[in-house]
Every structure is written in C-alpha cells, then in structure tokens.
Amino acid sequence: MTETVARMPLLGDPFPKLTVETTHGTMTLPDDFKGSWFVLFSHPADFTPVCTTEFHAFQTLYPKFKELGVKLIGLSVDQVFSHIKWVEWIEEKLGTKIEFPIIAANESIAHQLGMIHPGKGSSTVRAVFIVDDKGIVRLILYYPQEIGRNMDEILRAIKALQVSDKYGVATPANWPNNALIGDRVIVPPAKTIEEAKKRLEEYECYDWWFCHKPNPEA
C-alpha cells in the first residue's frame, strides 16, 4: 500500500482540515471560519521581541481586517499556557488586548503547513496564509525569523484579492498607489482579435493588452 504524504497547501487549494488547540479553545479549521476570510499567521516563539511587535501590529489593525470580513488566528509550537501568559504580558505591559485566538501547534501541523524550514531551525518561520470565504488558499508568504512582517501589505493584498474577485479585474504594482495608473484597475486581456480591437475603444489603454479603468470601489 502506498503511503499518502501530506503536502503543504498551494495557491488555489482548499485549506487542510485541522483540529487545533487555541487560546479560545478547540477549533476546527477552516470550518470554524466558514463564510469568512481569515489570515493564519505563524510566529517563531512567544516572548520574543519581533513576534511581540507583530502581535501588537496585527491587533492594532484588527478593526480594519474585520471591516473586510477577515478574521485573524496566530500559531506557533509553544503550548497554550505560554500563549496565554504572553497575551497577558502584552496587555499588561503594552496596553494591547489580543482579541484573536492563537494556535498551540504540534510539529506535525507546522510541517503540514510548511512552517518549519530545517535550514532555519526547529521553530516555525513567519508564514502567512490568506484564505477566502470558501476555504481556498489565496496567498502565501514566508518570512525568516529575523524579519518582521508588514501588516499593511497583508491588508492591502486582501483588499486587492476581494476587488479582483468581485469585479473580475487585476491590480497593478503597489496598488492603489501605482506609479503609472494610480488606484485604477487592470482589465483582463482580450481573448479574440475582435475583442482586442474593442479594448482600445472601451478603455484607456497603453495598448490593447494593457487597458485599465477606474477603481470600482473608489
């Protein structure tokens, strides 16, 4: 019998079903977030400076994530009691109450999500999974332990994904502050010769394959 080896999810894959212990009790992912986007992010360890700044930053922006219908959930291989004590410390020392749950993952879960990279030690690296309201993985980021993440970029990526889904468009580099077209969005490429000709009449274009239109949510 051939042994099935679990691989980490890739873009477009369903997020794997996991039962996990968290600071908010036992949870099942992605089922407990059904109908909602969520960001699962791992950190190397509790009670470390960079991770502490990240949790403070995530919590500070949490209202903006919630405005987009997005939930947050953290993860490391520390035990639940360590997460609880760390969260208490953050509230006591920094005045920031962490509202989202934190997973106490075992190494099996961390490996399944590709969060342990042997070349970077046995701690989880700084992984980010953005999962949509259908439980599909839409974006994956990995950072080494020594570099803190940019939460504004994670928020920006979610906004771009949601606009793309809703209107069938693409977004340019640094959107909504692109150097060429500002906050405008890119029209999908034409699929026929006739459609290519119409593109130049219907939209502002650099050429028929590079057309753009106003941001529908501006």
Q: Which of 51, 98, 137, 154 is catalytic?
A: 51
DSSP letters spanning the chain:
-PPPPP----TTSBPPPEEEEETTEEEEETGGGTTSEEEEEE-S-SS-HHHHHHHHHHHHHHHHHHHTTEEEEEEESS-HHHHHHHHHHHHHHH-----S-EEE--HHHHHHTT---GGG-SS--EEEEEE-TTSBEEEEEEE-TTS---HHHHHHHHHHHHHHHHHT-B--TTTTSBTTTBT-EEPPPPSSHHHHHHHHHHSEEEETTEEEE--TT-
Query: Is there a catalytic annotation at residue 51?
Result: yes
Active site positions, annotated: 51
